[in-house]
Structure 1
Amino acid sequence: MEQGHSVEQLTQRLRTFADERDWQQFHTPKNLAMALAGEVGELLAEFQWLTPDESARVMADPEAGARVRAEIGDVMIYLTRLADVLGIGLVAAAQDKLTDSARRYPVATARGRAVKAPR
């Protein structure tokens, strides 16, 4: 079956997946956030002892690349499901955050600098 590539299509597919298995009862915001944190930890573990150069080339290694891709998939699944359960549009939330970051980090003062800006 051909699957769509939009966030909305992924959200619907995950909702259907959970509904078919009667998993909505387990998909509380707390449980989904904890699962998301666990998956992010597994993604971090793939990079833990790599040098910056090795981490930039991780996808060139078929085995490591496959693991990283799978972990990113897990992160995306839990993030998408959490946003759906909370009624948050992922793209809108990201766009809003980017707008706020552009305000906090104007190009003229932030270019080439990694300094945290005040809220």
Structure 2
Amino acid sequence: MEKYKEVIKELIKFRDERDWQQFHDSKNLALAISIESAELNEIFLWKKDNEVENVNPDKIKEELADIFAYSFLLAEKHNLDIFQIVLDKVKRNGEKYPIDKSKGTAKKYNEL
């Protein structure tokens, strides 16, 4: 938890030193997450099945860092505990995808 607080502190410091808070409303942070996610997808675009696991890990790290940074800032803006919201989602997914019906299949919960 301390590491997370340190990351948030550094993100806010970086943002505030540049007077970028004015641009970091919820809509723009959500759009930034989407755009950075698309950039992550681009790393894998046109790769064959045997190539996707061998892409440059530095490129993956770069895009994931952007996605996490904007996600953390959006969560902080709304006073959301990122760890709790993920745990809550895992619990809800566990209810939607019971092991006995979903193990070994990629079917969506309404197809099980």
Q: TM-score normalised by the shorter chain: which range applies?
A: 0.7 to 0.9
Equivalent residues in 2 for 1:54-93 (5 A)? 54-58=51-55, 64-93=56-85
Residues paired across the two proteins, number: 110
Runs of 4 or more above 3 Å deviation: none
Equivalent residues in 2 for 1:1-119 (5 A)? 6-58=3-55, 64-118=56-110
- Which blocks of at least 5 consecutive residues in structure 2 are unaligned? none
Return the offset for 1:23: 1.6
Return the offset for 1:73: 1.0
**SS of 1:52's equivalent?**
coil
The higher-RCO structure (CA 8 Å, 6+ apart) is 1
Over 3 Å counting, the alpha-carbon distance change for 1:54 and 1:30 in structure 2 is: same
TM-score where L is the length of structure 1: 0.83
- Report the Cα distance in structure 2 between the residues aligned to 1:52 and 1:96, rounded to whole angstroms: 33
- Report the Cα distance in structure 2 between the residues aligned to 1:41 and 1:5, rounded to whole angstroms: 30
**SS of 2:104's equivalent?**
coil
- Report the Cα distance in structure 1 between the residues aligned to 2:78 and 2:49, rounded to whole angstroms: 36
Range moving further from structure 2, 47-56 or 75-84: 47-56
Considering only aligned residues, what root-mean-square deviation do their CA atoms show, in Å?
Answer: 1.7
**% identical equivalent positions:** 32
TM-score where L is the length of structure 2: 0.88
- Which blocks of at least 5 consecutive residues in structure 1 are unaligned? 59-63
**SS of 2:39's equivalent?**
helix
